[in-house]
Copies of this chain bind each other. A is one copy, B any other.
């Protein structure tokens, strides 16, 4: 690519503050020396944090922002009070074309609401989606699940778009020529599930694979999210959000149980020392901080949402992903795919009748 990739960063969002975010950028710039950043936040504090980081400092353009979007504020409140916040600034750098991708660890609902307001949905997209990379038995270690972020369930037409966008994201993330796409349901047989899910599946099978260049594998169950029989799992948003948080809860529980097991006796503590390398590899593999970079798909610009509690490693992972998206012209690729989806009456009608 001839143009330089610029990433705009909201430095005040997140639970851990700008120090952690700048530490993450410092890691990221070591991995991708070509990356350039526009940082939004408290200018004096950013300068202070950059003082001993010359390489990073020279890659950054600072923009002062007074306001901070609170982690627990409702999207409706944030929309009315967003002026002058670092989150809005980060999005506006993408809107103006100065940056290709925005990164924030802030309030997810607020970020999505502001992103929709400032970047709008991409042409041909009814509704954006949040996609996550999910640890799996796949050779490359992950699958893609989307949408995981919605309050209100997506209709059939939106789920076709999720399938196309998710497949493109899997192509970017895992270098797959023809990703396999499935729809999350309570069973894999065609007659399973609520009517809306079956309608979505039929529509995806009919119009999805050609535009999205993917293989449609049918319904998949919760247990298949980690399997290697599918690369992209499409959900209605509501179910996907609950599945994601449930799995994170299960992983956390097992993590605690493991820690307990390895500190219980003198023998087990000795074992933990012996197995230090292996345990670290295991930790790395199932660590949500490394997976972390949730992506907003279907907007008029790319947005990577890192976990609110992300540490420097998590921030670096999100920036790495953002860099890859910017470099590859990901948003344009998605738009090109969307343009191939038929806008015909049938598809729209099918989408609208799905009120179940």
Whole-angstrom CA separation of A225 from B252 in the bound complex: 11
Tell me, in angstroms, the Cα distance from A241 to B193 when the chains sit together.
Answer: 11
Instruction: Please state if B257 and A268 are interface contacts (CB–CB under 8 Å).
Output: no
Binds B, one of A29-37, A155-163, A259-267: A259-267
A136 CA / B249 CA spacing, docked (Å) = 9
Assess A248 versus B222: contact at CB under 8 Å? Given A241-B186, A242-B243, A243-B242.
yes
Task: Tell me if A246 and B267 are in contact (CB < 8 A).
Answer: no
User: A270 within 8 Å of B by Cβ?
Assistant: yes
Flag the segment in A16-24, A168-176, A272-280 that touches B: A272-280
A15 interface residue per 8 A CB criterion: no
CA distance A331 to B290 in the complex (A): 48
Cα–Cα distance between A38 and B242 once the two chains are bound (Å): 41
Among the listed stretches A54-62, A91-99, A113-121, A281-289, which one makes contact with chain B, having 4 or more residues with CB under 8 Å of it? A281-289
The reply to whether B261 and A279 form a contact with Cβ atoms under 8 Å apart is: yes
Tell me, yes or no, whether A256 is within 8 Å of chain B by CB: yes
| Other-chain residue from B244, B258, B270 in contact with A282 (beta carbon distance below 8 A) | B258
Contact with B along A220-248 (1 / 0, CB 8 A): 01111111000000000011011111111
Query: CB-defined interface of A146-187 with B at 8 Å, one 1/0 digit per residue?
Result: 000011110000000000000000000000000000001111
Contact B272 A244 (CB under 8 A): no
User: Is A339 on the interface with B (CB-CB < 8 A)?
Assistant: no
A271 interface hit (Cβ, 8 Å): yes
Q: Given A261-B275, A271-B275 in contact, is the A137-B238 Cβ separation under 8 Å?
A: no
Interface class of chain A by DSSP: helix
Q: Are A238 and B268 in contact (CB under 8 A)?
A: no
Distance in Å: Cβ of A134 to nearest Cβ of chain B: 9
Q: Shortest beta-carbon distance, A10 to chain B, in Å?
A: 22
Partner of A186, one of B242, B260, B264, B271: B242
In the assembly, what is the distance between CA of A265 and CA of B282, in Å? 13
Contacts of A153 in B (CB 8 A): 194
When chains A and B are docked, how far (Å) is the Cα of A254 from the Cα of B226?
10
Knowing that A226-B252, A267-B274 touch, tell me 16 more A-B residue pairs with CB under 8 angstroms: A137-B253, A151-B187, A221-B242, A222-B243, A222-B247, A222-B248, A223-B245, A223-B246, A242-B242, A243-B243, A257-B285, A258-B282, A261-B281, A262-B278, A268-B277, A271-B278
Show 20 A/B contacts (Cβ-Cβ < 8 Å), sorted by A. A137-B256, A184-B242, A186-B241, A221-B242, A222-B249, A223-B246, A226-B250, A247-B250, A250-B250, A257-B282, A257-B285, A261-B275, A261-B278, A261-B279, A265-B278, A267-B278, A268-B278, A271-B271, A271-B274, A274-B274
Q: A residues within 8 Å of B by Cβ? A: 74, 135-137, 150-153, 184-187, 189, 192-194, 221-227, 238-239, 241-254, 256-258, 260-262, 264-265, 267-268, 270-275, 277-279, 281-282, 285-286
